[in-house]
Chain A
Amino acid sequence: MNNNNFLKPLLFVGPHIILFIVFILIPSVYGIYASFTNWNLIGDPVWVGLDNYKTILTDTDSTFYSQFFNGLKNTLLFVVFSVPLLIIIPLLIAVALEHKDLKFTSLFQTLLYIPGLISISAAALVWSLIFNKQLGVANNLFGSEAVWQTTQPYAWIIILIITIWAGIGGNMIIYRAGINGVSKDLYESAEIDGAGPVRKFFSITLPSIRFPLIYTMVMTTAGAFNVFAQPLMMTDGGPRQSTTVLMMYIRDLAFSHGESIAGLASAMAVLLGLVILVISAFQYYVMNRNAA
């Protein structure tokens, strides 16, 4: 009987665990192992113990120390500004789309989903043309004299614009699916009680989609920590490396033209992973507690 208690769940979660071990656990463990080595990606890694971590975290003279902390600071800036927008805007859209007898919802939804499908290089090119001082509209419209790509805070603004433009579709449809699961009876009885749209949103919609909401919060944050394509394409990390995020430094260390410095890159990645873990665990804990 006891045996059976374990066997049945194993049938459900076991196949995935095997896949997980082969395709995620083993490579990840190897990545963590690499962070304790000196490695050029080709030869065998050479064990150096905590050297990489010491360099990154304590050697204040080192380029890698300043790269890590500058990259982390810029990544955090990106997370703080992008995540709330990536949650709130799609939520507002999903709620608006739920409105009774609204027409063309499929059309609105599709239009808002399209940007996320466009390859980042093409998207970056479109936005570069839009923000191009000579050819574009942004400067003409706003009458700004600055070149956005190389002037703060505009450099961050264009990175955020392209991120949000391309990034809301996923959360939007999660909220749509979530709100659809809410019983219509609830709304109807609330209406009979004379509840307005705002009150319905806060007392019915939000609590009903709390689990998907936790999910989007955690995953959007983790995704934002991994950002690199948008700054790389829009500003190339400038001006003065003020938009160079940690993932850009990590990738440069591991995969740029010179001999790869993959051990150090892995150590930075592990540290970034730890930051992501702590923050997501905190988010999950706080939101779950409030939701309960």
Chain B
Amino acid sequence: MFKKIKVSKYLAYLFLIVVSAIWTIPVIFGIVTSFRSQTEIVNEGFRLLPVNWIVDNYVAILENTSSAPILQWLWNSIFIATLHTLLVVAVISITGYGYSRMKFKGRDFLFFTLLAISFFPNVVNLIPSYKIIDILGWVNTPWAMIVPGLAGMGNIFLVRQFMRGIPMELDESARVDGAGDFTIYAKVILPLIRPVLIVCGLFSFTGSWNDFLWPVIVYTDVDKMPVTAGLLLLQDIYGNYRMIGQLMGSAILAIIPTLLLFFFAQKYFVSAINLNSGIKG
């Protein structure tokens, strides 16, 4: 019995180490490539460590501040993604509560209809979406990046799914104590769904960070662009990647903020255990 746990523990370690190694090698290769010259890349091929470490790629990315103000882009992204994420968390928790814990006629029908509509691939939607942003006067403003994403159904679906796993008895006993819906939402449900809200926040942050077509359409000023769209301006227009190292370098710079966020956020979506004790799945 004791042994069994030990064996399975080592198995878990083995599995995680193997998978992480496979997943990490390409990342390391990408990072290392950003420290190599074009000459070395085309001549040496796949080598885990560069022959000569160079920082020229990063210097080239950072010094071009007039046409590619990468630090400004990073700041823009942080601003947009943060505000967007805070609003998403507010919207999805309230809406998710409405669709899972309140009773009203046609509730599920309404929810699934909205979900179904949101499943249609948006190809030409770009044109009407831009028109709407234009009418609202949001062209070339951060609003165009922050607000439309709040309408998405994916996160609400996830929150609703998690909320369905919380027993209704909790609400009922709170109601007996005289609590209204807002109290139940804020005091009972919100603490319980904190892990999933953090997950959703992370998704929103990453999604907003990685969106590259929409910002190109709604922004005209290079200075106001978020970093992912801005970095596209560094690649040349012919599809031939002239500078492999620079492309890698810029991709790596772009993920640092999201990575930091993930590193700190993960503590919260796994540390919610205590709050959940006593709840049966």
A and B in contact, CB less than 8 Å: yes
A residues adjacent to B (C-beta < 8 A): 5-6, 8-9, 12-13, 15-17, 19-20, 22-28, 30-32, 34, 39, 41, 89, 92-93, 96-97, 99-102, 105-119, 121-123, 125-127, 129-130, 132, 134-137, 165, 170, 173-174, 176-178, 180-186, 194, 196-197, 204, 207-212, 214-215, 218-219, 222, 225-226, 247, 250-251, 254, 262, 265-266, 269-270, 272-273, 276-277, 280-281
* Chain B residue at minimum C-beta to C-beta distance from A174: B199
B residues adjacent to A (C-beta < 8 A): 1, 4-5, 8-9, 12-13, 15-16, 19-20, 23-24, 26-27, 29-30, 33, 41-42, 44-46, 91, 94-95, 97-99, 102, 104-105, 107, 110, 114, 116-125, 127-129, 132, 147-148, 150-154, 156-158, 161-162, 164-165, 181, 185, 192, 195-196, 198-199, 202-203, 206, 209-210, 212, 228, 231, 235, 241, 244, 247-248, 250-252, 254-255, 258-259, 262-263, 266-267, 269-270, 272-273, 276-281
CA distance A127 to B33 in the complex (A): 12
Asked if B279 contacts A181 (CB within 8 A), the reply is yes
A92 — which chain B residues lie within 8 A by C-beta?
Answer: 15
Question: Smallest distance from the beta carbon of B249 to chain A beta carbons, Å?
Answer: 9
Question: Smallest distance from the beta carbon of B275 to chain A beta carbons, Å?
Answer: 9
B120 — which chain A residues lie within 8 A by C-beta?
Answer: 28, 31-32, 269-270, 273, 276
Q: Quick one: which of B8, B9, B266 contacts A110, CB cutoff 8 A?
A: B266
Asked if A136 contacts B23 (CB within 8 A), the reply is no
Question: Smallest distance from the beta carbon of A191 to chain B beta carbons, Å?
Answer: 8
Asked if B228 contacts A119 (CB within 8 A), the reply is yes
A211 — which chain B residues lie within 8 A by C-beta?
Answer: 161-162, 164-165
Asked if A106 contacts B266 (CB within 8 A), the reply is yes
Question: Smallest distance from the beta carbon of B196 to chain A beta carbons, Å?
Answer: 5
CA distance A177 to B165 in the complex (A): 12
A-B contact pairs, 26 of them (CB 8 A): A9-B104, A12-B185, A16-B150, A23-B132, A28-B125, A31-B128, A34-B124, A41-B124, A96-B12, A100-B5, A106-B263, A108-B20, A110-B266, A111-B23, A119-B251, A126-B26, A127-B26, A136-B46, A177-B195, A183-B280, A184-B277, A208-B165, A212-B165, A219-B154, A277-B116, A277-B119
Asked if A177 contacts B45 (CB within 8 A), the reply is no
* Chain B residue at minimum C-beta to C-beta distance from A178: B162
The answer to whether A22 and B132 touch (CB under 8 A), given A31-B124, A99-B8, A110-B259, is yes
A12 — which chain B residues lie within 8 A by C-beta?
Answer: 94-95, 97-98, 102, 181, 185
* Chain A residue at minimum C-beta to C-beta distance from B93: A12
Q: Quick one: which of B26, B121, B251 contacts A269, CB cutoff 8 A?
A: B121
Question: Smallest distance from the beta carbon of B57 to chain A beta carbons, Å?
Answer: 12
The answer to whether A24 and B117 touch (CB under 8 A), given A127-B26, A173-B269, is yes
Asked if B247 contacts A16 (CB within 8 A), the reply is no
Asked if B122 contacts A117 (CB within 8 A), the reply is no
B267 — which chain A residues lie within 8 A by C-beta?
Answer: 106
* Chain A residue at minimum C-beta to C-beta distance from B19: A93
B116 — which chain A residues lie within 8 A by C-beta?
Answer: 277, 281
* Chain B residue at minimum C-beta to C-beta distance from A117: B255
Asked if B30 contacts A118 (CB within 8 A), the reply is yes
Asked if A251 contacts B4 (CB within 8 A), the reply is no
B278 — which chain A residues lie within 8 A by C-beta?
Answer: 183, 185
Asked if B277 contacts A105 (CB within 8 A), the reply is no
Asked if B258 contacts A122 (CB within 8 A), the reply is no
Asked if B247 contacts A121 (CB within 8 A), the reply is yes
* Chain B residue at minimum C-beta to C-beta distance from A92: B15
Question: Smallest distance from the beta carbon of A115 to chain B beta carbons, Å?
Answer: 6
Asked if A265 contacts B29 (CB within 8 A), the reply is no
